Structure 1
Amino acid sequence: MTPFVRSTLVSLSILGLAAATPSLAALKVGDKAPNFTAPAATDGNVSTFSLKEALKDGPVVVYFYPKAFTGGCSLEARQFSEAIPQFKAKHVTVIGMSADGIDVLKDFSKKDCAGKFAVGSDVNVAVTKAYDAQMGTMNMSSRISYVISKDGRIAFVHDSGDAATHVPALLKAVGAGK
């Protein structure tokens, strides 16, 4: 089996799991969002993302995804990168979170995220667990997105395995979409 075929099969398996296992215990609107800091990459540069600091500038979208450079995750990242001007117009910060290591995310942040927003590394899945976003017992995030209001509370939850639905739903939730 060629590396391309193997990679494609792994990607399809992950996508199937993500679509079939939405998070059943998602945080609810009104819940206090768990505070976190995480190593993050933006356009290949590593820094520390702090939810507390980001909330000082306005609401924050925290979206969890299973694995960088897989079909749905790449699609979602590209959709977010294209929509960043609309989020910024509403003073909304976007961060993607996965259990990928920071070296993978440095590359992902340049390629699929087009350098427009941060992707955080949660290799020990502590943030993922705090947001009820773990994919079963796997060390991976399921596909779930949150809008966190400036006061640190969950304002909106989009829990769907369909990567194509997250950005439109989040844009609408923050008043930037149709």
Structure 2
Amino acid sequence: NGKKVKSTDFKGKKHVIYFYPKDFTPGCTTEADEFAKDYKKFQKEGIEVIGVSPDDVDSHKKFCDKMGIQFPLLADVEKDISQKFGVWGKKKFMGREYMGVMRSTFLVDDKGKIFKIYPKVKPAGHSKQVLEDFSNLN
């Protein structure tokens, strides 16, 4: 929605921060769709979901509208958040090297402590795994 988001907005709340490369690409669409379908389950458990990619606000708005996403997507156009979380780096695809977001997810408890990191996420089934891992925390 174009509003600025601060880490203090999530103080005292459990949350999932998932980083993905690009709106409207196959893997990213699968991942967002699964989080969107499970979002009510996350809310019931008191867990906020936050998606982050280098796409701009306009792209995120279109993506949210098309996918029915109710949780915030952060526009990390300058890659500041991705760099702070260590998920911006060198990638390889079809023999070509380039810089990009390495699909990763972080689970954060209500005290703001990261208690689980998923590097190199496979999108299919990931949302369910995250829900299960949060329930094991309790």
Q: Same fold (TM over 0.5)?
A: yes
Give the aligned residue type for 1:51. S
**SS class of match (1:95):** strand
The alpha carbon displacement at 1:139 in A equals: 4.8
**Kept in 2: contact 1:60–1:149 (CA 8 A):** yes
**SS class of match (2:135):** coil
Instruction: Select the residue among 22, 39, 44 that pairs with 1:67.
Output: 22
**Kept in 2: contact 1:61–1:145 (CA 8 A):** yes
Structure 1: distance between partners of 2:42 and 2:11: 14
The answer to which of 78-87 and 152-161 deviates more is: 152-161
Asked if 1:96 corresponds to 2:51, the answer is: yes
**Kept in 1: contact 2:17–2:50 (CA 8 A):** yes
State the partner residue of 1:86: 41
The alpha carbon displacement at 1:101 in A equals: 1.0
Structure 2 unaligned regions, length at least 5: 92-97
* Alignment RMSD (CA, Å): 1.7
The alpha carbon displacement at 1:50 in A equals: 2.0
The alpha carbon displacement at 1:161 in A equals: 3.8
**Kept in 1: contact 2:106–2:117 (CA 8 A):** yes
Give the aligned residue type for 1:143. R
State the partner residue of 2:134: 174
Give the % identical residues.
25
Asked if 1:116 corresponds to 2:76, the answer is: no
Structure 1 unaligned regions, length at least 5: 1-44
TM-score by length of 2: 0.86
Number of residue pairs the alignment of both structures matches? 130
State the partner residue of 1:107: 62
Find runs of 4+ consecutive structure 1 residues off by over 3 angstroms.
Answer: none
Asked if 1:136 corresponds to 2:90, the answer is: yes
TM-score by length of 1: 0.68
Larger Rg belongs to: 1
Give the aligned residue type for 2:9. E
Instruction: Select the residue among 77, 91, 111 that pairs with 1:151.
Output: 111
**Kept in 2: contact 1:125–1:140 (CA 8 A):** no
More strand per residue: 1 or 2?
2
**Kept in 2: contact 1:61–1:92 (CA 8 A):** yes
The alpha carbon displacement at 1:165 in A equals: 3.6
1:163 to 1:115, Cα distance in 2 relative to 1, 3 A: closer
Residue deviations 1:10-65, cap 9 Å, x none? xxxxxxxxxxxxxxxxxxxxxxxxxxxxxxxxxxx222222222133x11100000
**SS class of match (1:46):** coil
